[in-house]
Amino acid sequence: MTAATTEVDPRSLTARLKTAARELGFSLAGACAAASPPGIERFREWLRRGYAGEMHYLAEREAAYADANLVLPGVRSVLMLAMDYRTTEPAEAELAKVAAGHGRVARYAWGSRDYHDVIRERLHKLADLLREIVPGASARGVVDTAPLLERQFAQRAGLGWLGKNTLLLNKSHGSWFFLAALLTDQQLDYDAEHETDHCGTCRACLDACPTQAFVEPYVLDARRCLSYTTIEQRSLPESELRAAHDPWIFGCDVCQEVCPWNHRAPVSSETAFEPIAENDPIDLVELLSLDEAAFRQRFAGTPLARPGRTGVLRSAAFALGNRPCREGLAALIKSLDDNDPLIRAASAWALGRYDENDARSALQTRAAIESVSEVRQEITASLD
């Protein structure tokens, strides 16, 4: 690594970086030392309990979470940043459509672009500025893909506290924001750590969780969280969790929607996060009609590309099973012949929740030709 050749006052450097961050669209900025985060032992215990589910990459990179030098060699400081993504509130009239073949999408995915791409572009500009101010400086921007306990570093940098729903909360911004970090080998002027917990006796998030995913306050069993089952989980969720999906097909906002601190969160001015009308509520019948090419054309470059066609259509089938409708019945019968076995399995489960002769007839027809055992099991369970 090339050593920096220019000495810059940490206070001046930090002030310039924070000013630039605000100009780039970040609403919060705070600096802290890159020492091992205080929550590392809780994270290790969380992994040991198996709460990460199929997210095996977390355990595989456990050592890096404890030492930011494994993310950026020689790192000394972290500039933690937040970018608001609250846009409009879901209209009650629109949400009424959920009962008729429509599903819900977490609000961070309502826009036209993946937030990772939007924020990385801004982080690159911020890193370039740092290297311009301090020639030879080392810097790396991170937005929830590198092994960094961002929420813990954000608390250390004074951006807020960890709420009972495990999200970072800020008095003025609630939790409707993305976190990002700029790691550097330069000394910054550190902010005071946020040491006060303002959740008090409130249990709104814990009690509202549709799957009761919180083992206790501040501890989330990701295996039961709808944001995990609809995005991260590649296998079929347990039957009880499929029913708990209700209309949610990508992520879940329930624990944030009920949080009192989110009632005062500001509206984002970022155009990339402006909602596309058809993204929430989203037409489930239309989703099930998309082949691979059509799915990519519609969702490429958006957060929904992460679970891919398999994950999104699997969840769409669950949602149609949870809220049966005539249009949904026809779509599920058709997707029972999909090339993807997980989509067929999800459709078989959903058809089992329709008290219709057409549903039973379609399941029996598929059972006669189905070769994948997992799908056959779902068909048998639905017919029984």
pLDDT, mean of residues 58-63: 95
The CA–CA distances, whole Å, from 380 to 53, 173, 334, 338 equal: 27, 49, 18, 18
CA–CA dist 49, 108 (Å, integer): 29
> pLDDT grade, residue 279 (50/70/90)?
confident
The CA-based angle 160-211-166, given to 5 degrees, is 15
Q: Note the pLDDT tens digit of each residue in 297-312.
A: 999 999 999 999 999 9
Asked if 81 and 129 sit in the same domain, the reply is yes
Asked if 357 and 326 sit in the same domain, the reply is yes
Asked if 167 and 247 sit in the same domain, the reply is no
Extract the tokens encoding 170: 């800020």
pLDDT at 22 over 70: yes
pLDDT, mean of residues 342-355: 97
Output the average pLDDT for the chain: 94
Instruction: Decide the pairing of beta strands 28-33 and 77-84.
Output: antiparallel
CA–CA dist 135, 109 (Å, integer): 37
Asked if 234 and 140 sit in the same domain, the reply is no
Asked if 256 and 319 sit in the same domain, the reply is yes
Read off the amino acid at residue 70: L
Is residue 16 included in any domain, yes or no?
Answer: yes
The last residue of one of the domains, among 149, 184, 219, is 184
pLDDT at 216 over 80: yes
Q: Quickly list H helices, 166-213.
A: 204-208
Asked if 222 and 369 sit in the same domain, the reply is yes
Q: Please list the active-site residues.
A: 144
Structural domain boundaries enclosing 376: 204-383
Q: Note the pLDDT tens digit of each residue in 92-109.
A: 545 555 667 999 999 999
pLDDT, mean of residues 163-189: 98
3 state SS of 223: helix
pLDDT, residue 4, reads 46
Extract the tokens encoding 117: 């791409």
pLDDT at 2 over 70: no
Extract the tokens encoding 312: 């999104």
pLDDT at 186 over 80: yes
pLDDT at 90 over 70: no
The CA–CA distances, whole Å, from 144 to 23, 260, 346 equal: 22, 25, 30
Q: Note the pLDDT tens digit of each residue in 110-159.
A: 999 999 999 999 999 999 999 999 999 999 999 999 999 999 999 999 99
> pLDDT grade, residue 280 (50/70/90)?
confident
Instruction: Decide the pairing of beta strands 102-105 and 282-283.
Output: antiparallel
> What's the helix, strand, coil split of the chain in %, to 5?
50, 10, 40
The last residue of one of the domains, among 129, 151, 184, is 184
